[in-house]
Amino acid sequence: MQQWQAALARHMPDIRLEAWEAAPAGADYAIAWKPPALLFQQQPDLKAMFALGAGVDALIAHCPATLPLIRLEDSGMATQMADYATRMILDWFYRDADYRQQQKQAKWLPYALDDKQQWPIGILGLGQLGSVVAQRCQSLGFPVHGWRNSPEAIPGMTTHWGGAGLQEMLPHCKVLINLLPLTPQTSNLINRDVLDRLPKGAFLINMARGAQVVDEDLLAALDRGQLAGAALDVFRQEPLPATHPFWSHPAIRVTPHVAGITPLHDAAEQIANKLQAFDAGKPVSGLVDRERGY
């Protein structure tokens, strides 16, 4: 709390920040990530809610439909996600896991180098996060396919849209990266049908939401060799239960929701700018469309 107070005060010296449990009724704004429904009961006069992330699925369930909900836009997370994605891709491409295993066995066995043109990357979601990840993959020499809902071309990238476009893109993707917002339409999207349409031996990276991947279908695809590996940073239940099979599966890399950590000072500056604009009646970017869910 003290860190947030200091960070926001750099941009709004008169701001008064309080923990929601102790705050008296009558607060003007709320800043939260996964607030309980009780918050909105205790603060019925809020003017707007500011989300501490780009995804707002955890907020929409409790946030009143009439209350403006404003999300973060990038705030330094896109670069982190691009780092995460390329770290995983390059590890697979250069077979680093195999070489690490060989080192344990004192085994000398060089592998032939693959052609990056045979490793096209498919990205689900081409918003502010996905577009940065796509550009990073392109800069490393990998062909990139991107999928979005709307028919909008992006220079230098093969773009696909809609249901038919997704089916068209999947067979081209050696690596599939999920960066979609969680909505009723994207829940359970990455299921057996989607995984089976990828080329045999493909890889999956999920940095969006765990509920978009059907866990059982992913495990089955790995076990039968349809997928060669997966890097998972988000899960249906977090923290991931210690008994979950993802922890021990040899083809899965588990990280604890760290692909895009919200940087305190960048987020505080963005929230302060949005709050000041909203308070002045000016247009605010990042206003969530409740029908779309983002």
Chain centroid to CA 152: how far? 21
Q: Is the dihedral of CA 269, 275, 277, 279 positive or negative?
A: negative
Supply angle C-alpha 54, 59, 63, rounded to 5: 130
Q: How far apart are CA 188 and CA 181, in angstroms?
A: 12
Supply angle C-alpha 55, 1, 287, rounded to 5: 30
Q: What spatial distance separates the first Cα and last Cα of the chain, rounded to whole Å?
A: 27
- Among residues 172, 253, 257, 265, which one is catalytic? 257
Chain centroid to CA 50: how far? 18
Bin 156: left if φ > 0, else alpha if -120 < ψ < 50, else beta: left
- Among residues 71, 136, 145, 209, which one is catalytic? 209
Structure tokens at 97: 């896991």
Is 257 a catalytic site residue? yes
**Residue 35's closest CA among 18, 15, 20, 47?**
20
Amino acid in the structure at residue 85:
A
Q: How far apart are CA 245 and CA 127, in angstroms?
A: 32
Alpha helices in the chain (DSSP H): 2-9, 37-42, 57-60, 77-93, 96-104, 128-139, 162-169, 192-197, 215-223, 264-279
Residues with catalytic roles: 209, 257
